[in-house]
Structure 1
Amino acid sequence: MTTSPSKPLFSKRFVRTTLGAMALALLAGCASKGEPAYTPKELRSFEETSSLNSVWRRNVGDGLGRARYPISPAREGDTLFAADASGLVAAFNADNGEREWEVKLDTPVSSALNAIAGHVYLGTRNGEVIALDQRNGNIAWRSRVSSEVLAAPQANQQLLLVQSVDGQVTALDRSSGEEIWAYTTSQPSLTLRGTGTPMVIDPVSFVGFANGRLATLDNRNGQPLWEQQIATPRGRSDVDRLVDLAGQPVVTPDGRLFVTSYNGNVVALEATRGGVLWEANLSSRHTPIIVGDLLFVVTHNSHIVALNADNGQEVWRNDDMEDRWLTAPAFANGRLVVGDFEGYVHLLDAREGNLVGRTQVHRSGVSVRPVTEGSTIHVQANNGRLETLEVTP
């Protein structure tokens, strides 16, 4: 029997109504007993025209934990950084897998990592944000925010923005961790497990929330410059009314902003004023990616869809991996890369949408987005296995 992933879809933290609590208990109970809440498609053979060759593999502690914390690795330059849920953080040579350093923090890690400008930033279950020195793993600073952090902290030249699970966005001084400002919004009774991830550029930050709203915040003081309702709650139950903006907004150099929503639409906006350019009726809890003139979206039921980024028209759709709990998409060497709940990594031709390659990293599953650099793919499985793959041709 095919079992469903153990990672819960909803967050207990925000269940404040009897109906929401009952729905969450039912779903969490199904997951914990291994009963399928859906029917994942079985994988079928296909003509493989690309190979995924293993370059090196290592183990990172005990992995993502029973709760499947979204602790995706990060790469800067020739170094890859990864962590486990218990607080182990390690740095590896990205080319050969040599372990450069390893530290054990005194607190459990809960967020994706972000490596930038000499530091590795991460969030914890007890609401801390920690900056580590990339050279040796020493703690440069640590600061407390309002609650647990699941999204990777995001940086510009001066600030580090942290979105915590209670809906608050906190701006910290990137060099010291000192709080500069905080922005808070209302949260619905029930939310997806996790939060959106801010998109931070020098003057502003684009932030999506569980109430379906997108805000553009002035990085000088945290005041909203404009807000837009991306998805509107509908239905009677809290589950039906989920409209989380759980992915990260994507902004392009020409000033377009692309946002996904659960039970809502994919929306293209004019970034400076928030005007809607187009909408596509797709539900997604993942960050999309844009490559050339195509926007790629993994929907909530694991369809992979390519949209024309100029007008939102569907170019192709692949449903071969329906309900396989695909990760957010990555891009490597002309191929889309996604992982699934059985630990497979799939390659799709970005222009045509057909499957061209596949390999299994570990049967514990892959639930965090792969990290790519050129034709190299770094994948962290749920049990902590970290594998580097090379795409050929």
Structure 2
Amino acid sequence: MRISRKLVGVGVLALMTGCSTLSSLNPFSSKPKGNQPAPLVDLKGSMAVRTAWKLDVGKSQNYLMAPAVADNTVIAAGGNQIVRAEAASGRQLWRIKTDADLTAGVGTDGNVIVVGAAKGRLLAYDMDGKQIWKAQLSSEILSAPAIGEGVVVARSIDNRIVGFDAKTGEKKWTVQRTSPPLTLRLAPGMIVHDKDVIIAQPGGKLLSLLLATGAPRWELEVGVAKGATELERVTDIGGAPVIIDGDVCAVTYQGRVGCFDLSNGSARWTRDISSEVGVAADQRFIFVPDDKGSMFAYQRDSGTSAWKNDKLAYRRLSTPVSYGRAVAVGDYQGYVHFLSREDGAFLARAATDGSAIVAPPLVVGSNLIFQTQNGTVTAIAVE
């Protein structure tokens, strides 16, 4: 789940701020610098796709704002707005303005909607858009909050994880984890499963905590740091982990992609790759784009390579999504590319608003939901 490939670290931030490398690693620039993105070729599409509806929610700026789904509705946020709309038609149900610019979201369990706001504020609303509580975290919030078992889990950029009562906002527990000296400015994702929350961590780790108490169940390394310098050893997890059939799967920058036993964290398989965005999974495959724009598919049970498509090189691909016979992925110009899940061949392409897609997409019924950095939420119907 890429916010920016800016590097942050205690004691080195001032030094790195002046480094010319950082400007070339900004996914929100109008055009990538360095390696030029692959041009798009004309397609004779074998899959029919169309735009079902669009909705404007406000620009995300340099933050990752991802929509969420609840009760056949889509909840999206951007700028200082939160919008709820019918998933099938895009008809707006309500729109509210917050008292601060938003930095993370959306998290919901169908009862509560939670977003992160400027200066580490956590804002909670009911499903009608009425604010019910707010809380203060120790630093900036970049990761969308997760909700389960009546607990809201929020993570701040200093890697402090806090559990709040979903109804009252009362703090229930706090877990502090150390971070490596140098990390990417990412939004490591969280996912609730039964009574646990699985949290992506800097340094390539996954952490499983009990929702009720914050007690750790297991911790594992997805990526293993390598290299002589701190820059070479950056191996943060990109995006949110994915859970499927007793496995949890994730990928790291300068590290590995792998699937692990959800009950104890033991490795099923791992493969070397570098990615700043999350994986997609279905019954047969794990899909992941690398940081050079190639899309890879691995057999989910063994990790054996199934196929590779390198025709979207340096187009800064988003977290993909598997749907039917296709896997869909967005790029820095707001295009959504549909590839065959069986062999990676191009099936179709759809345009949004011309700005980058960095948020992970949603599947809602027969629609795929993508949100751009300029704040357009687009539902694409696959026919």
TM-score in terms of structure 2 length = 0.92
Alignment partner for residue 355 of structure 2, among 347, 352, 364? 364
| SS of residue paired to 1:281 | strand
8 Å CA contact 1:20–1:239 kept in 2: the answer is no
1:70 to partner: Cα distance: 0.5
Aligned length: 380
More relative contact order, 1 or 2 (CA 8 Å, 6+ apart): 2
Q: Which moved more, 1:321-330 or 1:38-47?
A: 38-47
Match of 1:94 in 2: 87
8 Å CA contact 1:304–1:319 kept in 2: the answer is yes
| SS of residue paired to 1:126 | helix
- Distance in 1 separating the partners of 2:17 and 2:132: 43
Match of 2:21 in 1: 26
Task: Output the amino acid matched with 1:359.
Answer: A
- Distance in 2 separating the partners of 1:380 and 1:124: 18
How do 1:101-120 residues align onto structure 2 when only pairs under 5 Å count?
101-120=94-113
- Distance in 2 separating the partners of 1:160 and 1:274: 23
- Distance in 2 separating the partners of 1:344 and 1:276: 35
Match of 2:11 in 1: 16
1:231 to partner: Cα distance: 2.1
Alignment partner for residue 38 of structure 1, among 31, 35, 40? 35
Task: Output the amino acid matched with 2:296.
Answer: V
Alignment partner for residue 274 of structure 1, among 252, 265, 272? 265
Task: Output the amino acid matched with 2:41.
Answer: R
Which digits, 9 at most, give the CA deviation of each residue in 1:281-332, with x for residues without a partner?
1222222122112111122222211111111101111111121111101233
8 Å CA contact 1:233–1:241 kept in 2: the answer is yes
8 Å CA contact 1:20–1:189 kept in 2: the answer is no
- Distance in 1 separating the partners of 2:183 and 2:92: 38
Alignment partner for residue 294 of structure 1, among 267, 279, 285? 285
Match of 1:3 in 2: none
- Within the alignment, does 1:52 sit opposite 2:49 as a pair? yes
8 Å CA contact 1:147–1:165 kept in 2: the answer is yes
8 Å CA contact 2:279–2:286 kept in 1: the answer is yes
Instruction: Give the % identical residues.
Output: 25
Match of 1:75 in 2: 69
Unmatched 5+ residue regions in structure 2? none
- Within the alignment, does 1:134 sit opposite 2:127 as a pair? yes
Q: Which moved more, 1:23-32 or 1:351-360?
A: 23-32
User: Structure 1 residues 116, 212: CA separation in 2 closer, same or farther (over 3 Å shift)?
Assistant: same
* Deviation >4 Å, runs of 4+: 22-25, 29-35
- Distance in 2 separating the partners of 1:299 and 1:29: 17
TM-score in terms of structure 1 length = 0.89
Q: Which has the higher strand share?
A: 2
8 Å CA contact 2:281–2:322 kept in 1: the answer is no
User: Structure 1 residues 18, 372: CA separation in 2 closer, same or farther (over 3 Å shift)?
Assistant: closer
Which digits, 9 at most, give the CA deviation of each residue in 1:95-148, with x for residues without a partner?
22222211110011111312322222211231122221222x111221222222
| SS of residue paired to 1:205 | strand
Unmatched 5+ residue regions in structure 1? 1-5
- Distance in 2 separating the partners of 1:391 and 1:168: 40
- Distance in 2 separating the partners of 1:20 and 1:202: 43
